Structure 1
Amino acid sequence: MTAIRDHRDREAFARLFGHFAPRVKGFLMKGGTEASVAEDCAQDVMVTVWNKAHLFDPSRASVATWVFTIARNRRIDLARRERRPEPEDLGWGPEPEVAQEDSVALQQETSHLGRALAELPDTQRELIEKCYFGDLSHREIADVTGLPLGTIKSRIRLALDKLRHAMG
């Protein structure tokens, strides 16, 4: 891996590819990914390994850990994409009219949520806003803020617990 990182060594990458690509495909298939999708994803993971080789730090992780972390993240991305509805699955046309009492209840609930958000510590509120209003993943928030991923997850979890409690 260091030869790939430091010298863009194609032979070293071919050996690395031969070793890890089938293992990554198997890992993805064990996670429930269809064989053809796993094959494409494994190829994509290995391309990422080549393109991001300069980021590999042997003091932080072994080569296997680094490669399989990339694979795991790619599998999560695939799962997220699969859960999103296709445009033809979305409803078309105007939304049905909301009853006036439902509209008032929704306004009150929205106002209550706004107050509960305002009462959160700034560090938690900002992360909730980035996650739910900015539509950023935890990893993207960590990249933007420079905070460790575990800190991001902990603060969001604490904030959600506080919001659940405040909303009753």
Structure 2
Amino acid sequence: MTSDQNDDGSLPHDLSAKLVAIAASADMVAFEALFREFSPRIRAYLLKMTRDTQAAEDLMQETMLAIWRKAGQFDPSRGHASAWIYTIARNIWIDAWRRQRRPAFDPDDPALVADPEPDAPKRMEDKESSAALHAALKNLPQEQVELIKLSFFDEASHSTIATRLGLPIGTVKSRIRLAFGRLRTALEDFK
């Protein structure tokens, strides 16, 4: 038996014709014949893949439905109709396997739960901390305030700040360190 022959030795000359007929005119007779011929083979193939009779049956039904829908995509010049059909079955099995492996959505997952709103004392503390920081920044020389804003609010790198201000990078680093020392001292009084 060659790859061009059916199990009974006959040529599948009409398999491609059946797919073309299904695509051209939604020919139910051709589809029924194709279903009778291929559904047991596809079921057996999928049973080997899934080792689950019910899953194989469901995937076979899904495969046959896909064949009905995609019959217009079959191109006899690209290969045998049976290879096209088994490729659809294999792809459907792969999709089903991937769906099984995907974790279920858990709405109670801590990563998906929003942080609770801070209570009144915490909001008040945050507001006081913010006011203290702004007051401390007002007491710094303008050059140091600019360096802190560029570094931490604009998130510019030290080398970018050095280029932008025309200063050596070492000077930028030491001035930022000096500004932080002054801020730390001013904020310690806040505590």
Q: Which runs of 5+ in 1 are unaligned?
A: 96-168
**CA RMSD, Structure 1 to Structure 2 (Å):** 1.9
1:73 corresponds to which letter in structure 2? N
Instruction: Mark the CA change 1:10 to 1:47 in structure 2 (over 3 Å): closer, same or farther.
Output: same
Q: Does 1:28 align with 2:62?
A: no
Q: Distance in 2 between matches of 1:94 and 1:31?
A: 36
Q: Does 1:78 align with 2:84?
A: no
Q: Which runs of 5+ in 2 are unaligned?
A: 1-18, 113-191
Post-superposition CA distance 1:79-112 (Å, at most 9, x none): 1011111234x872259xxxxxxxxxxxxxxxxx
Q: Counterpart in 2 of 1:142? A: none
- Of residues 62, 74, 89, the one that matches 2:80 is 62
- Of residues 89, 101, 110, the one that matches 1:93 is 110
Q: Is the 8 A contact 2:47 2:56 kept in 1?
A: yes
SS of residue in 2 equivalent to 1:85: coil
- Of residues 37, 59, 80, the one that matches 2:55 is 37
Post-superposition CA distance 1:139-163 (Å, at most 9, x none): xxxxxxxxxxxxxxxxxxxxxxxxx
Post-superposition CA distance 1:65-87 (Å, at most 9, x none): 11100000001001101111123
2:40 corresponds to which letter in structure 1? P
Q: Distance in 2 between matches of 1:94 and 1:50?
A: 43
Q: Distance in 2 between matches of 1:27 and 1:21?
A: 10
Instruction: Mark the CA change 1:79 to 1:57 in structure 2 (over 3 Å): closer, same or farther.
Output: same
Map 1:1-168 to 2 at 5 A. Answer: 1-88=19-106, 92-94=109-111
- The TM-score, its normalising length taken from structure 1, stands at 0.52
Runs of 4+ in 1 over 6 A off after TM superposition: none
Q: Distance in 2 between matches of 1:94 and 1:9?
A: 52
Q: Is the 8 A contact 2:63 2:89 kept in 1?
A: yes
1:65 corresponds to which letter in structure 2? A
> How far apart are 1:39 and its partner, in Å?
0.6
Identical pairs, percent: 40
> How far apart are 1:24 and its partner, in Å?
0.8
Q: Distance in 2 between matches of 1:29 and 1:53?
A: 24
**Number of residue pairs the alignment of both structures matches:** 94
> How far apart are 1:12 and its partner, in Å?
0.6
Post-superposition CA distance 1:115-168 (Å, at most 9, x none): xxxxxxxxxxxxxxxxxxxxxxxxxxxxxxxxxxxxxxxxxxxxxxxxxxxxxx
SS of residue in 1 equivalent to 2:50: coil
- The TM-score, its normalising length taken from structure 2, stands at 0.46
Q: Distance in 2 between matches of 1:15 and 1:64?
A: 14
1:92 corresponds to which letter in structure 2? D
> How far apart are 1:4 and its partner, in Å?
1.4
Q: Distance in 1 between matches of 2:111 and 2:94?
A: 33
Q: Is the 8 A contact 2:50 2:56 kept in 1?
A: no
2:23 corresponds to which letter in structure 1? R
